[in-house]
Structure 1
Amino acid sequence: MYRGASVGVVIPAYNEEGFVGDVIRGMPAYVDRIYAIDDRSTDGTLNEILEAARTDASENEGPAGETVERLAADGGASALASRATVRDAIGRVVPIEHRENRGAGGAIKTGYLAALADGVDATVTVDADGQMDLSRMQRLLDPIVENEADYTKGNRLLSREYRAAMPRFRFVGNATLTFLTKIASGYWKTMDPQNGYTAISHDALAAIDVPALYEYYGYCNDLLVKLNVHGMRVADVAMPAVYGEEESSITYSRYIPKVSLMLLRNFLWRLQTKYLVLDFHPLALLYLFGAGTAASAVLGAGTSLVSALSSGDVPPVRSATSLVLFVAGTAFLLLAMVFDMAESESLETQVR
């Protein structure tokens, strides 16, 4: 346990032979449960998980602190059983085998369901490739244990030193998705949304619909949107990344468009749920009216351009109208963003 709170760690692993064992063996002693999920790997990942679990059990003599008992009656238990085989715990390690490959988000979801079934107080996510500094896990847990945040996440962009360690192509892609996630989630101060080093409280995990979480690599972006709708506090924690011999399995040509479309759907869902259904705030109407007005202006400008190309003469009245509409639409959008920032300001903190 850590400062009186039980801690579970979720490790999603797909073809991580040569890495995942070191991650398990390097886990801090205060961690009570390690949920190691083999996502139908085609290499020796599962065997390495089992071997590392036995080594960890012999060195730590079972779970640290109080034992976390499985709550079979929890709703997450049945959802977990439908997607994976949960082996008997080896010490504090719970090996879990997916029946089919579900991707990183799917493995995280499985781990979350297991943590809910066990009733752990704080659940951390750690990649199996060794990119995360396990000695800094306390920085993620402290805001939760101190009841200052419901969800904490690593942020590699808070310092120049951390940013310098990130490859340039990853930095550009990260910055793009950071901006899109700010708009979609409503957490305007939050950066580096793709960072998989996170911790979440039991209450926050129980509040969201875990089985409905996105299962592709954008699971972390999707989770932020769900947390915002439920009014959960999020803390960005400065955290370096360790880049070694591991290779990213992300195909960016598919990744960015797919996640961007998901964020658009989530943005519209957040506006409807948070500002129209659960409560009312005019910013939802400002967003919709502003977007519609700006789109109308662009459509009008396009029509004028087609007319100019066909007749050689740009209709001045229509062009001026399109410009006015575009400026007005943009103003409405900016005003909506200002209101949105104010609504979530109290839900965001940064730990440097």
Structure 2
Amino acid sequence: MYRGASIGVVMPAYDEEGFVGDVIREMPDYVDRIYAIDDRSTDGTWDEILEAAREDADANAGRDAADDAPLVTDGGASALTARASVRDSIGRVVPIQHRENRGAGGAIKTGYLAARADGVDATVTVDADGQMDLSQMPRLLDPLVENEADYAKGNRLLSREYRAAMPRFRFVGNAILSFLTKIASGYWKTMDPQNGYTAISGDALKAIDLENLYEYYGYCNDLLVKLNVHGMRVADVAMPAVYGDEESSITYSEYIPKVSTMLLRNFLWRLKTKYLVLDFHPLALFYLVGAGLATTGVFAAAVTLFATLATVGPSVQGSTTVLLLVAGIAFLLFAMVFDMAESEHLERQVR
């Protein structure tokens, strides 16, 4: 336990042979459950999880059972039958193997389901490739155990070394998705939403629609939208990155457009659910009117350009186009200002 709270770690792993075992063995002593999810790896990841679990159990054989949190003993298997095979826990490790490959988001969802069923107070997500500094975990947990946040996430973009080491295309892609996630989620101060080093409270896991969590790499972005709708507090924690021999499996040319489309759907869902269904706020109408006027303005600009090329007098058309664009942008800016104000009390930064 950590400061009186039971701690679970969800660790998704796909083809992480040579890394996953070390991550399990290096897990801090205060972690009560390690949900190691093998996402149908094609290498020796599963065997390495089992071997490391046994080693971890032997190393913690003298651990006082009274120090462990009173958790459900089946590892949440009843909620995971259709998704995965859940082995009996080996010490504090719960080995879980997917019946089919579900992607990073799918593995996180499986671990979250198990942690929710176990009633864990706080659940951390840790990649199996060793990129995350486990000594930094308390920085994510402190805002939760002090009841200052329901969700804490790492922010690597505050690190100059990280920005310098990141390839230009990846940095630009991260910046674009960060901005789109701000709009979609309503958490305007939150950065680096692709960072998978996070901690979430048990209450937040119970509140959100966990069963419909996005199962691709954009699960972090999707989760932020769901948290905002339920009024959950988010802490953005400055966090260094650890680099080794691992390679990213993300194909950014596919990742960026796919996640961007998901964020657009989520943005519209958030406006409808939070500001029209659960409560009413005119910012939803400002967004809709602004988007409509701006879209009409762009269409009018295309017509004006065509008219100009056809040598037809465009003066009136040009004025209308400018008016529509300016009005649309003004409505959108007003909506964003209202949106920022609505969620400002839900955000905090930890340097």
Same fold (TM over 0.5): yes
For the pair 1:66 / 2:68, whether they are aligned, the reply is: yes
Give the equivalent residue in structure 2 for 1:149.
149
Contact 1:53 1:93 in 2 (8 A): yes
CA distance in 2, matches of 1:242, 1:210: 29
> What do the CA deviations read for 1:201-222 (whole angstroms, capped 9, x no partner)?
0000100011110000000000
Aligned 1:112-131 pairs, distance under 5 A = 112-131=112-131
2 CA distance for matches of 1:243 and 1:173? 20
Q: Does 1:333 align with 2:332?
A: yes
Aligned to 1:349: 348
1:131–1:237: structure 2 CA closer, same or farther, 3 Å change rule?
same
Contact conserved, 1:62 with 1:91, CA < 8 A, in 2? no
CA contact (8 A) 2:77 2:86 kept: no
1:116 partner SS: helix
For 2:200, the equivalent position in structure 1 comes to: 200
The offset of 1:344, in angstroms, is 0.3
Q: CA deviation at 1:158?
A: 2.0
Query: Do the aligned residues in 2 keep the contact of 1:275 with 1:284 (CA within 8 Å)?
Result: yes
Give matches, 1:196-345, under 5 Å: 196-309=196-309, 311-345=310-344
Task: Indicate the residue corresponding to 1:133 in structure 2.
Answer: 133
Is contact 2:36-2:93 (8 Å) kept? yes
Structure 1 residues 291 and 155, CA, compared in 2 at 3 Å: closer, same or farther?
A: same
1:35-65 superposed Cα distances (whole Å, 9 cap, x missing partner):
0000000000000000110111111127772
Separation (CA, whole Å) in 2 of partners of 1:281 and 1:99? 44
C-alpha distance in 2, partners of 1:302/1:169?
Answer: 30
Q: Contact 2:83–2:99 at 8 Å: present in 1 too? A: yes
Q: 3-state DSSP class of the match of 1:227?
A: helix
1:135 is paired with a residue of what secondary structure? helix
- 1:318 offset after TM fit, Å? 1.1
Give yes or no for the alignment of 1:183 onto 2:186: no
Counterpart of 2:318, as a letter, is S
Kindly provide the CA deviation profile for residues 212-243 of structure 1, in whole angstroms up to 9, marking residues without a partner as x.
10000000000000000000000000001112
Distance in 2 between the 1:205 and 1:165 partners? Answer: 34
| Contact kept in structure 1, 2:33 and 2:92, CA below 8 Å | yes
The answer for the alignment partner of 1:34 in structure 2 is 34
**Counterpart of 2:12?**
12
Q: Are 2:9 and 2:123, in contact at CA under 8 Å, matched by a contact in 1?
A: yes
Contact 1:84 1:96 survives alignment (8 Å): yes
Gaps of 5+ in 2: none
Match of 1:281, as an amino acid?
H
Residue 107 of structure 2 aligns with an amino acid whose one-letter code is A
Contact 1:180 1:263 in 2 (8 A): yes
Deviation of 1:67 (Å): 4.0
- Give the SS at the match of 1:12: strand
SS in 2 for 1:279: coil
Deviation at 1:336, TM superposition (A): 0.3
CA distance in 2, matches of 1:120, 1:20: 22
Letter in 2 for 1:150: D
What amino acid maps onto 1:343 in structure 2? E
Distance verdict in 2 for CA 1:218–1:62, change over 3 Å = farther
Q: What amino acid is aligned across from residue 319 of structure 1 in structure 2?
A: G
- Report sequence identity in percent: 79
Q: Distance between the aligned counterparts of 1:48 and 1:316, measured in 2?
A: 71
Q: Residue 155 of structure 2 contacts residue 195 of structure 2 at CA under 8 Å; is this kept in 1?
A: yes
Contact 1:63/1:92, CA 8 A, preserved across alignment: no
The CA distance in 2 between the partners of 1:118 and 1:81, in whole Å, is 15
Length-normalised TM-score, structure 1: 0.96
The one-letter amino acid paired with 2:342 is E
Secondary structure at 2:154 match in 1: strand
Q: Give the structure-2-normalised TM-score.
A: 0.96
SS of 2:8's partner is strand
* Count of residue correspondences: 349
